Amino acid sequence: MKRKFRAMRSGRLFGVLLSAVAVLACGLPTLTGPATTGGAPEPSPAMSATSILSSSAMSTAVSPIPTDIGPTRTASVSSVQPRYRFTRYSDPDRTVVTDEAGRWLATFTDHAYTVTLTGPQRTFSDPNARQPVVTEVWVRVLPTPFSGTVNQDWLAKALRDTSPDVFAVAMQYVHGAPPVTNSQGLQIAGSARYGPVAADDTREEGGDFNDYLGIPWQFGTQERQPKSDFFRSLDCSGFMRMVWGYRAGLPLTYAPNQGQAIPRHSWEILSSAPGVIIIPDTERQVTDFSHLAPGDLVFFHAKTEDHNPQVDHVGMYLGKDAAGHYRFISSRQTADGPTLGDVAGSSLLDGTGLYAKSFRAARRL
């Protein structure tokens, strides 16, 4: 009996050893994700795209892919374990990032600082706006213009980041916004005016970001002193320069410098600022919004009485409001400061209102 028991135990041990050898010979199993191209919009022969999968960690904050990223026709997928999917689109040239399920995460546009990302839902409203903008889109800026390759470490951090983005910063200047000071005690945000009252009871134009702050600013070799009567004032381009330049960190210039920095006036920002023109100025009302994305600067020819086709007003597109209209924010003379409201002209790009009819162009910084 003892010999029989030892024989049985030896047999079992020999079987285990044979199984171990088989595993070592065959190798451990490899887990791979499905090589799919899901999440793409409707195909179109006029466009093409390439998809690549990455193994970097992804955010848990996701939303459906936006309808304005453009169609795709072809895709090629790598064999690595997927986390992010990178798809190239044209018009404008950009990289759209989705997760394994095809849910949109971010969009990077070639030659632009601007990045749109998914994030927690927020509501932007104004007492004078008929409808609020409820959105999961966040807008942030890259350290340098996008060159075609996504920095996945930056992306992972940006998807987790809930600090104020470009939209939240812009809202820090609307009427009733509380003061915000920096570590040196300088007030950098809070309710802003458009400008002082002129002799004809209108608001004067001329408030730049350093006038609001009350500090001098060096532009190359030229130093510009703040104008005391424009303290806490921001005109339309001054508002955009405050948000995108002083606060978000994009380079600023006073005179145009071949697209290297944000210049002083609205027409100069359209023609000579960083980024890419999304909708060119044809001197006609823009009615096709398919290329527009949240965070794009929008330009208007609102002063039709001057018979000059040059744009004279700039704002920032926020997204569709609760009624499905394309709503923007800007600093306006008639509203005496930054607003997304509907006083003295609705803040809408579509329709028949003043700004809808005078909407001419868009740029992505």
Chain segment 49-82, per-residue pLDDT in tens: 445 455 433 333 333 334 344 433 334 343 344 4
- Quote the radius of gyration of the chain (alpha carbons, Å): 27
Per-residue pLDDT tens digits for 211-248: 999 999 999 888 999 999 999 999 999 999 999 999 99
In this prediction the pTM is: 0.80
Per-residue pLDDT tens digits for 294-332: 999 999 998 866 667 899 999 999 999 999 999 999 999
Q: Which residue has the higher pLDDT, 165 or 222?
A: 165
Cα separation, 296 vs 50, in Å, equals: 25
Inform me whether the pLDDT recorded for 102 exceeds 60. Answer: yes
pLDDT at 307: 66
Confidence band, pLDDT 50/70/90 cuts, at residue 270: very high
Q: Which residue has the higher pLDDT, 39 or 340?
A: 340
Inform me whether the pLDDT recorded for 5 exceeds 50. Answer: no
Q: What is the mean pLDDT of the chain?
A: 83
> 330 with 341: CB under 8 angstroms?
no
Inform me whether the pLDDT recorded for 103 exceeds 50. Answer: yes
Domains located in the chain, CATH noted: 171-364 (3.90.1720.10)
Q: What is the DSSP letter of 221?
A: T
pLDDT at 53: 52
pLDDT at 43: 30
Q: Which residue has the higher pLDDT, 156 or 73?
A: 156
Distance of CA 214 to CAs 136, 194, 224, 226, Å? 35, 15, 11, 5
Instruction: Name residue 260's amino acid.
Output: Q
**Six token digits for residue 288:** 């096709």
Three-state DSSP class for residue 63: strand
Residue (of 249, 238, 247) closest to 186 by Cα position: 247
94 membership: H or E segment, kind and range: strand 94-98
Report the DSSP beta bridge partners of residue 319.
Answer: 327
